[in-house]
Chains A and B, each alone.
Chain A
Amino acid sequence: MIAFNKYYNHFNVLSSALIIISLLLLIFKGLNFGIDFKGGTLIELRSNDTKINVSSLRDKFSQMNLGDVSVKKFGSDNDFLIKFENKDNKKNIIEEIKVNLDKSFGNNYDFRRVENVGPKVSAELLKSGVIAISLSLAIMLIYIWVRFEWQFSLGAILALFHDVIVTLGVFSLFSLEINLSIIAAVLTIVGYSMNDTVVIFDRVRENLRKYSDIKIFELTNISINETLSRTIITSATTLLALLAIYFFGGEILKGFSLAMILGVIFGTYSSIYIANTVLVRLRVSQKTVLREDDSK
């Protein structure tokens, strides 16, 4: 048996530090919102001419008075991602750009993807994203409350909160782009982390009923160990699937799968070192679950 409980305090400090650092990053550095949430225009361009490269594209676009234009390589050497704010929300901007590029590059390029999100829509998308994440946290809180006791609910929510904040913190730290698919990833992380926590909690509850003489400090450790091989196997298969998406699923799914990979790692960690320590700190005992049984 591994003595996970030996490190409860250490890891509580670490988790708090991670959350505080992430919050500071989110407040002071902020998130790198993509056009979904900031508004603007995105063009994925494929060239079949070596003359077209990041610097020549940057050159051409800066002459078009589009404001701040970002040009990046996107996956392979001849794919580029161009983003700009389109502040005035010009109507025929794509056509104008095409005409301009045709002059310099002829027919040697091709727009593979064009996205244009107006300021109104981006504000709405951001709002619904924030609502979706908050709503999912609230519903999980209620669900666990109904299925377990409030101490469990609090532990699970703190773990979820940790996973979401720290994942977003990593995105902030490395200035990774937040778009619609990241919101989907965060919600899935919420589901996954909850899933992981519930399995351990279920065992904790079962053991609480079984043993009246074992303290919660020891009991959580027993429960974590009993479910450990399942925790490892499920995390492993989920990570295998996610790594397959990350490496082979194409550029568009990269951010999504990265967020999920981070989330699965944090989610597994938090089920053990946050959710359980909350139970210990709240001094959950056999009485806690027996009362629950009585009321049913």
Chain B
Amino acid sequence: MLYFSKLRIVFITIFSLLFVLIASSNLFKFDDSFFDKKINLGLDLQGGSYLLLEIDNEPVIEQKLQNLSTTFRNFFKNKDIKLNNLKIDDQNIFFNVTEENKQKVIDIFQDENSEINPYYPRFKSHQLEIEDLGLNLKINFSRQGLINLKTSSQDQAIEIVRRRVDEVGTNEPNILKRGNSRILVELPGLDDPMRIKSLLGKTANLTFRFVTQNDDERFGVEKLEYEDGTPAVNVSKRIIISGENLLDAQPKMDTQNNQTIVSFTLDRVGAKRFGKATSAGIGKQLAIVLDGKIISAPVVRDTIASGAGQISGGFTFQSATDLALLLRSGALPAPLEIIEERTVGPDLGQDSINAGMIALAIGFLLVIIFMFVKYRFFGLITNVTLIINLFILLGILTLFEATLTLPGIAGIILTVGMAVDANVLIFERIKEELKDDTNNILAFDGGYTKSRTAIIDANITTLLAAVILFFMGSGPVKGFAVTLGVGIFTTLFSVYFIARLFTSLYVIKNKNNGKLI
């Protein structure tokens, strides 16, 4: 265990120096892109906001079932099958058919080439499941159908969230999927997430619909409230144009009455429909509805054929800017709810870094003094190893551009405390060997060999704990698992290569000088 070939010594030296260099790239700037890597600071250290959003898919499912039931009615009408008592209840569609048609309907739904019920061969599942309840038939989404629906609404939502966050212009946001109905938004450096939160909390479903007096409009009517609290009015359910028809939206200052407005331009289809509706509806009130509330309902005075218009509604410049932003980035497929928020101000982050560094320095110093007092020369070897160990640990974190969190710093300090364990095991073993054996070389060799199983077992148990923590933990705690886990590898490397190298050089030189430890 004490022999090192020249090649090995060279390799260990180069390896150690390399990591010292990589670790130092956090302090200096290197031209080379390989060396110019930095450890990322977690949100708890650099300040920022962590938002976990959940998509409320229920309205999407409701809407989808609504559309499907219309499709089914028409589809079976063409086959001369009448669906009676069609209704939607608790995410199920119910209907009756005559007894002789029942099997036919079920067969159509269960056919792998069914036109109305797509089959996913990969998952061996239809989109919808049909069940004969005796009195009526029940249709609901299959497990896979539901997963597909959620995934697609998540895909849409994450795109919209990304656009909205980008428009606000925060630096390096991190937007990730979580499961199939959640989105994680990390916003470094943002200490007041109020604006982003209010932007993400809006579905931004915009429609232009006529205000109507009579209740028996062909498309149905609904009573909608105004955003500013003006009493509710009846609005037709017929949508003239919606947010999808918008090409652009910008906040503007209306010079005539000194009001902030949002001006918009429509795509071709939208412009045509808008022109037609405004020419037919002169004198009527056109309600501009956002997320079920009326922003304003101006009276149509003229045909607007240009495909450009404006929305007024007592905006401040900020609220007009935000509305324009929401309209530009598009509507969310479903409402989002912020189910977890963690925000750290930048000065607290800096305080945490300072505290962490002071704790690291003091912890390190205490351990180093302790080891030197206890083992003298071999304590010195352990301490040099510990320093190199720290550099390699930081180097690996830098190389992988890992995220360092406050618990992560705690993990590094803990590594310092526990890293000496392997060396202590070895040195104590050597001391025992020297009791029976006066040959230094044999004693040191035996010490290394005999302590090996204990060291490996002991480190694997800590590693197992770190691995579990990495997979089960979230956010900052994950950072702890990373530093603790990586620390085990760097410790083993530095003990078995670096400390052993120093020890062997010393022992071979002084083998005849009595008991060395």
Contact = CB atoms under 8 A, between A and B. Distances in A.
Interface of A: 44, 91-92, 94-95, 110-118, 120-121, 125, 128-129, 131-132, 135-136, 139-140, 143, 147, 180-181, 183-184, 187-188, 190-192, 194-196, 198-199, 202-203, 206, 226-227, 229-230, 233-234, 236-245, 247-250, 252-253, 256-257, 260
18 contacts: A44-B348, A92-B198, A110-B345, A120-B54, A135-B468, A135-B472, A180-B473, A180-B475, A188-B469, A195-B462, A233-B420, A237-B418, A241-B414, A245-B363, A248-B355, A249-B358, A249-B413, A250-B356
B393 to A, nearest CB: 14
A132 B472 contact: yes
Instruction: Across the A-B interface, give the 9 residue pairs with the lowest CB-CB distance, nearest first.
Output: A241-B417, A191-B465, A244-B363, A250-B355, A132-B472, A194-B461, A191-B462, A118-B339, A249-B359
B339 A121 contact: yes
Given A147-B457, A233-B420, A237-B420, A136 B194 contact: no
Contacts of A120: 54, 339
Contacts of B269: none
Interface stretch (B22-30, B150-158, B366-374, B495-503): B366-374
B348 A249 contact: no
Contact of B414 (A188, A227, A236): A188
B270 interface: no
Contact of A136 (B460, B464, B474): B464
Interface in B348-380: 348, 351-352, 355-356, 358-360, 362-363, 366-367, 370-371, 374
A146 to B, nearest CB: 10
B289 interface: no
Given A147-B457, A248-B358, A187 B468 contact: yes
Chain B CB within 10 A, most for which of A136, A226, A233: A233
A273 B347 CA distance: 47
Contacts of A125: 474
Chain A CB within 10 A, most for which of B425, B458, B475: B458
Nearest to A128: B472
A118 B461 contact: no
A113 B348 contact: yes
A240 B457 contact: no
Contact of A253 (B340, B370, B410): B410
A256 B465 contact: no
Contacts of A236: 370
B201 interface: yes
Given A180-B477, A191-B464, A199-B425, A238 B414 contact: yes
Contacts of A239: 417
Contacts, number: 216
B466 to A, nearest CB: 7
Contacts of A190: 465
B407 A184 contact: yes
Majority secondary structure, B binding face? helix
B464 A237 contact: no
A237 B371 contact: yes
B410 A139 contact: no
B143 interface: no
Contacts of A260: 414
A227 B360 CA distance: 28
B352 A250 contact: yes
A110 B352 CA distance: 17
Interface residues of B, number: 70
Interface in B443-495: 450, 453-454, 457-466, 468-469, 472-477, 480-481, 484
Given A198-B461, A242-B414, A249 B424 contact: no
B341 interface: yes
Given A229-B428, A245-B414, 7 more contacts: A192-B418, A195-B458, A240-B417, A247-B359, A249-B355, A250-B356, A253-B356
Contacts of B356: 249-250, 253
A248 B461 contact: no
A211 to B, nearest CB: 15
Chain B CB within 10 A, most for which of A114, A196, A260: A114
B96 to A, nearest CB: 38
Contacts of A245: 359, 363, 410, 413-414
A241 B367 contact: yes
Nearest to A240: B366
A198 B340 contact: no
A234 B344 CA distance: 35
Nearest to B355: A250
A118 B56 CA distance: 14
A94 B194 contact: yes
Contacts of B159: none
B432 A132 contact: no
A195 B413 CA distance: 18
A194 B462 CA distance: 8
Interface in B327-350: 337-345, 347-348
A176 to B, nearest CB: 17
Contact of A230 (B44, B348, B424, B457): B424
B323 interface: no
B472 A233 contact: no
B406 A252 contact: yes
Interface in B404-419: 406-407, 409-410, 413-414, 416-418
B344 A112 contact: yes
Contacts of A247: 359, 362
A184 B479 CA distance: 11
Contacts of A192: 418, 462
A106 to B, nearest CB: 17
A112 B351 CA distance: 11
B52 interface: yes
Chain B CB within 10 A, most for which of A118, A143, A184: A184
Nearest to B406: A252
B175 to A, nearest CB: 18
Contacts of B52: 121
Contacts of A238: 414, 417-418, 421
Contact of B457 (A111, A131, A198, A256): A198
Contacts of B457: 147, 198-199, 202
Contacts of A198: 454, 457-458, 461
Given A230-B425, A237-B417, A112 B345 contact: yes
Nearest to A125: B474
B290 to A, nearest CB: 17
B213 to A, nearest CB: 35
Nearest to A229: B428
Nearest to B422: A234
